[in-house]
Structure 1
């Protein structure tokens, strides 16, 4: 299980950058960079809170965190850009295409067929890259 321990010498921002690089790789850096000209402070918040604080907590490995994230974004039904980033992250942390497809299909039960269809089409796009 990959962890990003909270050390006294590393800031939330530094820990968040490290986590983002391991989880999302280049796709995550593109999201952060795309905010530079409109909301650089929001990019900092994105690095510090979700990645520096939440993803860095013990208790769940990155694979489990991405399963939860893919499920949540699929259930929302309206977050395709973020879902695509996290589908790629899921692949990056060891999820298979089949597992991601099953996670998204499971959401049809709880979020409805339209949300699951949107998720499957987002996955199809990511898998094609």
Structure 2
């Protein structure tokens, strides 16, 4: 296990563990066994662990990127959970998703909000206060 991988796993643990990410990684292990290692090393060990932004700020950036990309529902679900674990309030997550309307459009924002609702419901955070 490389130092980059250890650093990435530690960062994932800070953000609530691998959870939904692990399912995505495991689903492709028979086709691309190195893919999850590379994702952990690069995305979490190298990029997410950099100084300059705290974990909550990074998760806001990631949410915006995922919403505008579209078609990345498992990643969006995982990062909404990570945003909550990083200390963002559910209302802040909702506002971040709403902020994407002018840039990503209503369909992608509605899809993202439905995923956020599911994450909030799974964590017994509904109704939002």
TM-score (norm. length: structure 2): 0.85
The count of aligned residue pairs is 120
| RMSD between superposed Cα atoms in Å | 1.5
- The 2-side partners of 1:121 and 1:58 are apart by 32
Aligned match of 1:25: 17
Aligned match of 1:4: none
- The 2-side partners of 1:26 and 1:41 are apart by 16
Structure 1: runs of 5 or more not aligned: 1-9
Moved over 6 A (4+): none
Aligned partners of 2:67 and 2:76 also within 8 Å: yes
Q: How does 1:8-19 map to 2 (within 5 A)?
A: 11-19=3-11
Structure 2: runs of 5 or more not aligned: 123-129
TM-score (norm. length: structure 1): 0.85
- Which deviates the most, 25-34 or 12-21? 25-34
**Equivalent in 90, 99, 103 of residue 106 of structure 1:** 99
